[in-house]
């Protein structure tokens, strides 16, 4: 296993509530990513990080924020969840030239 885990794996939340997804890695890799994957859109980058406290926006960052206070943890926050944010969220990290993914977090906003 690549040493990257996500939590929670499944969550149902109500519109307007804040949600935080956690990504944890044990490989001391510098680069980490948050993607969402939806039918017809494939994997879309939300935010990424290239080091502690160094983050940048991806192509679908609106409505999301991230934080990376430690190398091993990369948090994704939905400040006020909307139904359009119902999706599966994948965290990833790069080691060398290989991208490793977490198992995904299935989020449903009702």
Partner 1 sequence: RKEVEQDPGPFNVPEGATVAFNCTYSNSASQSFFWYRQDCRKEPKLLMSVYSSGNEDGRFTAQLNRASQYISLLIRDSKLSDSATYLCVVLYPGNNRKLIWGLGTSLAVNP
Residues contributing to the site for partner 1 (CB under 8 A): 31, 33, 40-43, 45, 48, 50, 56, 88, 90, 94, 97-104
| Residue with smaller CB distance to partner 1, 74 or 90 | 90
> 24-49 in b/e burial notation, b at 16+ Cβ within 10 A?
bbeeebeebbbbbeeeeeeeebbbbb
Torsional class of 51: left (φ above 0), alpha (ψ -120 to 50), beta (otherwise): left
| Residue with smaller CB distance to partner 1, 23 or 75 | 23
What residue has token string 């290239």?
50
| Residue with smaller CB distance to partner 1, 71 or 101 | 101
**Smallest gap from residue 31 Cβ to partner 1 (A):** 6
């Amino acid at each position: 296993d690549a040493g990257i885990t996500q939590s929670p794996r499944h969550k149902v939340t109500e519109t307007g509530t804040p949600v935080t997804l956690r990504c944890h890695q044990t490989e001391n890799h510098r680069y980490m990513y948050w993607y969402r994957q939806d039918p017809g859109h494939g994997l879309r980058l939300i935010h990424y990080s290239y080091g502690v406290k160094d983050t940048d926006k991806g192509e679908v960052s609106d409505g999301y924020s991230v934080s990376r206070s430690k190398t091993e943890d990369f948090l994704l926050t939905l400040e006020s969840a909307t139904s359009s944010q119902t999706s599966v969220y994948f965290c990833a990290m790069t080691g060398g030239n290989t991208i490793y993914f977490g198992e995904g977090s299935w989020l449903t906003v009702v």
